[in-house]
Structure 1
């Protein structure tokens, strides 16, 4: 069977079947595993193992001249005795263990011996490798990476929805920071390089794309991908089928005019050639649509051979022509073709054939035509309902500075002209209703048995030809009504306001700040290695007396306490690592600035494209209106009788004008569709890039019912994020601001970590004169303070 898929089904299927989405979930899980290992390092860990061996030696093998038999019970390895050890938050290592060895001699003296040692040790670094800031850093980094990956997964979920909807690249999801070279957690962490692993790997949640700005595509706009792209392609196919039907009907009308001697054969062939070209383009478009559908199936994780059909009412209002009306036009064209062939056969055979079947078809066509007329009348009533919103939108667009600067005809944005155009269309519809009523009455007269069969056939051909032209006019009136009733929600947001919202709500921006702070923290992490080794050691053990393994006495015990000191005489490698961390912090700062600029650039591009689409939408609407008028005029030219005293011949460009007008109508229909689609895509991109899109638990977008400007209320705005220009503009707009703060820690660490460490500048500060990053590595980067 066939699987009919709407947007909700496509998203739910992708969440279940998409390999890319599943990989991101697994990456997030692995990042959580790293945290569990780093926490486990600070838990009390228990170890224990034992081995039992029976050894029998011969007389010569034992070396004692007598055979021996030993049963030995001892730890499996010297380091695997029964013990418990713990790492403290300050770097101390505590261990308590029990080692026991039991030996039975079954030959010779037949004796037994037992050795048991109960020991403990405490090792506490006081300078190097000690302190909470150094020891807890791996755990802190893993937890911060997990939090960043949770944020990044939430952003990926929203981007993934947009990728299914419009084909936008979802970008990078969670990025595991540990697990390199087969290790667990953050083993191998060095504190420098990508992610702290010496240029191997990257930090968690590190996708800092600035978003997608829209690009125009010709007179219309750039098309969409994903599910919306398939709906757009399907609508384009429907437009092409309507064009083929109109061309086929025009060819029949021109052929009838040629038979009546009103037009030459060349113009008929010209229209027929255009019909063949349109049919060829339709076949190519259908083939391209199937290829895109297969690609979409694979992206969802479905096999390409699955019989899938996309069907969603989202884009139905962009269908300017009713499918049932198109089918009716095709039926009329087919009936006319049969009737003309029948008349040609009768002229050759000079006999009459029964017309009952054809009259029954014409009666059914009449009933269907009455139903389509009622549907068009309903479209005009819907147009009346949306007129107030359309007038308000046109008034808003007319005040745009870019509209005045481009010298666009102001009548395109005139609410009064819109009302006049709608009134004119309603008047034309009334006239068309009267013409159809007369045609229906003529069809009814054909059922009266007062005429001969040949006369009835001629009248039926004439009436159906008239009905074919009237149905085309009816479809154009319907297209005009639907065209003017299409509307969309405006976006009134400046680029400065958008940047302020994004700086508070974008999850990847939060990760960018966190990564910058991580680079700052690693400076102090690596500075710890420059200190001396000063360790406190305290250990002791207690042994048993005699053969009783549990008879412990202090006479077999020992306590040992002391200090170990290693002067920092050789620290070249550590110095280089520290210098690298300083440089990487500066690189991270520049990367953060670039991230902010890319975000702002993307928001500006998206807002520009949205504003362009709002104006271009009205221009394309007007172009469709003009194209409909052109088709209407060329159709009227074909149906109008010759004026008195003038020749009955049509002009030499009648067919060319008709073909060109139908081609223009198809092009502007597709352009109009592309602008609407691109507007919806950019509006969705804006929600994602602002960080305000919300998803339901099933992964579907929750429609944002509030204006985007609402997010500016009580917004925390950071001047170092936005920059002085944007902050000043927001102040001019009287947006509520907090005191300017910096995203970076600018406090010097207290205690022993602060000794000998130069405080680094915050984003709002200047780099001190005593820091020179242009020096060679052989020269000190930080010059001694005066």
Structure 2
């Protein structure tokens, strides 16, 4: 080659790493390597390696664990806060969907369903009342204005029923949208919770309506239509009514026995329990007396059939109407007894928590209160971090520059005399810390703000628990009052019906029946409304206590329902968590 020609190959390698320590120290290591291959002359090879090490350990400002790991600590705690918020959100969502919250709520829909059933029963009663008045009109027992008055009430009942059905359809569409479903998807509400509110057996309602229609039909028959064949047919139909009535008495007797076997609710006072036991005994005696009357009614009916004579047709006809009215009265008594029994078979889910116990449980297990308490700790920790920034900078500094001998062919021969090692302290006085001082003062304010927010949430939780328990006590008392009101309205209706069977229907008797039907409807609606309000308040109490647990489907789990509770208790029951939850 030419003397000025140079043929060389050079490779450079540079690798390194840095590491932050929990004490706040920083370590930087860099390794540089270079190979030079020369192909001219004697074909020499030269290697050059160099290691740079830089280590800084703060002793005051930005030093040590509580400051160095602050961001990681806060990130971990924020993750925990989000998990708690999500867990509580699921409970809030479950209670809202299940009661009267999101989209109206499931219980709100059941309330409307039961109101519609009450309206349907009211319309049926108004229709029977209208037919009875229409049947009595041709024989001049009732004035035409009374018929028009009953017809007007019947029309108003139909209008209310139609509007209630429309409102239910609208509410159901809103509920489906709240659940994320298209409103056109057909759904069916599970109304099993409403089974206890069937206060009279449908067979009893049907039989009572048939007997009333029978009495009205036979009363309006003209003299020429009254013959022995028609009379015998009437007695046969009355005998069939009598057999059905005896079966209904057996049904009511079984319900009384079921009531008698139920234990008293755990939260009922002694006086109220005694009243219920007294009423239970009275209803048992009344049913036994009613059974005796119906058993005596059979032989009387058979005797009347045997005594049918063509020459005694008027007496036989009057006897038929009299026995029909007696049977109607007995069915009315059975209606009142069964209504009372079934009303008292409805049980409200018990709340066994006392005020202090409920508040203590809530303050220990409320997830949002845990988060707020944790944020107070975070704010206090920020004071420490902010105070650290006001300190002087005092760092331990170590530097090393280690290299190989020039011309060496060993890349790891770090024995060069030119290598350098330095260690020392670096100091910066805290003379200018105005910005840091403002941050420190702001952290003090934020701590006080977080502390007061925690105290406010603590007070709000206690206030919510106290409000929930008060409302539950009020609803329970209102439910007892609604029971008595419904029983009184049922008795009033039966008495009004008995007066309506008289030979002369007056304005007072007609208005009494209409008022009684209205009172029964209002009492039924009040009963279901208070029941829904109680279940909603109970679920809200357990939510405020954070005593609800959800299953894998997100539905409220009820593992501690009392055997006397209705299935509606599945809307929430206190379930202690598996262990004590503490803030980290």
TM-score range, shorter chain: 0.7 to 0.9
Structure 2 counterpart of 1:553: 414
Q: How far did 1:585 drift?
A: 1.4
Structure 2 counterpart of 1:607: 469
Structure 1 counterpart of 2:78: 145
**For the structure 1 residues 241 and 507, does the alpha-carbon distance in structure 2 shift closer, same or farther, using more than 3 Å as the test?**
same
Structure 1 counterpart of 2:28: 95
The answer on whether the counterparts of 1:538 and 1:560 sit within 8 Å (CA) in structure 2 is yes
Structure 2 counterpart of 1:651: 506
The answer on whether the counterparts of 1:539 and 1:560 sit within 8 Å (CA) in structure 2 is yes
**Alignment map for 1:201-600 (pairs within 5 Å):** 225-323=104-202, 374-386=250-262, 389=264, 393=268, 395=270, 414-415=275-276, 418-419=279-280, 421-423=282-284, 425-426=286-287, 429-430=290-291, 433=294, 474-491=334-351, 493-543=353-403, 545-546=406-407, 550=411, 552-555=413-416, 557-600=419-462
**For the structure 1 residues 579 and 425, does the alpha-carbon distance in structure 2 shift closer, same or farther, using more than 3 Å as the test?**
farther
Q: Which runs of 5+ in 2 are unaligned?
A: 226-233, 311-318, 564-573
Q: How far did 1:74 drift?
A: 6.0
Structure 1 counterpart of 2:316: none
User: Counterparts of 1:321 and 1:372 in 2: how far apart (Å)?
Assistant: 10
- What secondary structure, in the 3-state scheme, does the structure 2 residue paired with 1:653 have? helix
Q: Does 1:703 align with 2:564?
A: no
Q: Does 1:675 align with 2:530?
A: yes
Give the TM-score normalised by structure 2. Answer: 0.77
User: Counterparts of 2:415 and 2:281 in 1: how far apart (Å)?
Assistant: 111
The answer on whether the counterparts of 1:542 and 1:552 sit within 8 Å (CA) in structure 2 is no
User: Counterparts of 1:106 and 1:281 in 2: how far apart (Å)?
Assistant: 108
Please list the CA deviations of residues 717-746 of structure 1 after superposition, one character each: whole Å capped at 9, or x if unmatched. Answer: xxxxxxxxxxxxxxxxxxxxxxxxxx999x
Q: Does 1:122 align with 2:1?
A: no
2:99 to 142, 157, 166: 166
2:492 to 617, 624, 630: 630
- What secondary structure, in the 3-state scheme, does the structure 2 residue paired with 1:540 have? strand
Structure 2 counterpart of 1:665: 520
Please list the CA deviations of residues 157-204 of structure 1 after superposition, one character each: whole Å capped at 9, or x if unmatched. Answer: 4333322321447xxxxxxxxxxxxxxxxxxxxxxxxxxxxxxxxxxx
User: Counterparts of 2:557 and 2:491 in 1: how far apart (Å)?
Assistant: 40
- Supply the RMSD in Å over aligned alpha carbons: 4.8
Q: How far did 1:498 drift?
A: 2.7
Q: How far did 1:613 drift?
A: 1.6
Please list the CA deviations of residues 308-366 of structure 1 after superposition, one character each: whole Å capped at 9, or x if unmatched. Answer: 111143332133233565567788899999x99xx99x99xxxxxxxxxx999999999
Q: How far did 1:151 drift?
A: 3.6
Q: How far did 1:542 drift?
A: 3.6
The answer on whether the counterparts of 1:501 and 1:711 sit within 8 Å (CA) in structure 2 is no
Q: How far did 1:227 drift?
A: 2.0
User: Counterparts of 1:273 and 1:249 in 2: how far apart (Å)?
Assistant: 14
Give the TM-score normalised by structure 1. Answer: 0.59
User: Counterparts of 2:39 and 2:330 in 1: how far apart (Å)?
Assistant: 118
Q: How far did 1:228 drift?
A: 2.1
The answer on whether the counterparts of 2:472 and 2:537 sit within 8 Å (CA) in structure 1 is yes
How many residues were matched structurally?
543
- What secondary structure, in the 3-state scheme, does the structure 2 residue paired with 1:488 have? coil
Q: How far did 1:226 drift?
A: 2.0
- What secondary structure, in the 3-state scheme, does the structure 2 residue paired with 1:393 have? coil
Q: Which has the larger radius of gyration?
A: 2
The answer on whether the counterparts of 1:245 and 1:330 sit within 8 Å (CA) in structure 2 is no
- What secondary structure, in the 3-state scheme, does the structure 2 residue paired with 1:530 have? coil
- What secondary structure, in the 3-state scheme, does the structure 2 residue paired with 1:85 have? strand
User: Counterparts of 1:119 and 1:440 in 2: how far apart (Å)?
Assistant: 119
Higher relative contact order (CA 8 A, sep 6+): 2
Please list the CA deviations of residues 56-82 of structure 1 after superposition, one character each: whole Å capped at 9, or x if unmatched. Answer: xxxxxxxxxx9999998667xxxxx53
User: Counterparts of 1:359 and 1:72 in 2: how far apart (Å)?
Assistant: 126
Please list the CA deviations of residues 579-618 of structure 1 after superposition, one character each: whole Å capped at 9, or x if unmatched. Answer: 0111111122222221122111111111111111222121
Structure 1 counterpart of 2:68: 135
The answer on whether the counterparts of 1:429 and 1:477 sit within 8 Å (CA) in structure 2 is no
The answer on whether the counterparts of 1:336 and 1:464 sit within 8 Å (CA) in structure 2 is yes
User: Counterparts of 1:490 and 1:689 in 2: how far apart (Å)?
Assistant: 17
Q: How far did 1:376 drift?
A: 3.3
**For the structure 1 residues 465 and 97, does the alpha-carbon distance in structure 2 shift closer, same or farther, using more than 3 Å as the test?**
farther
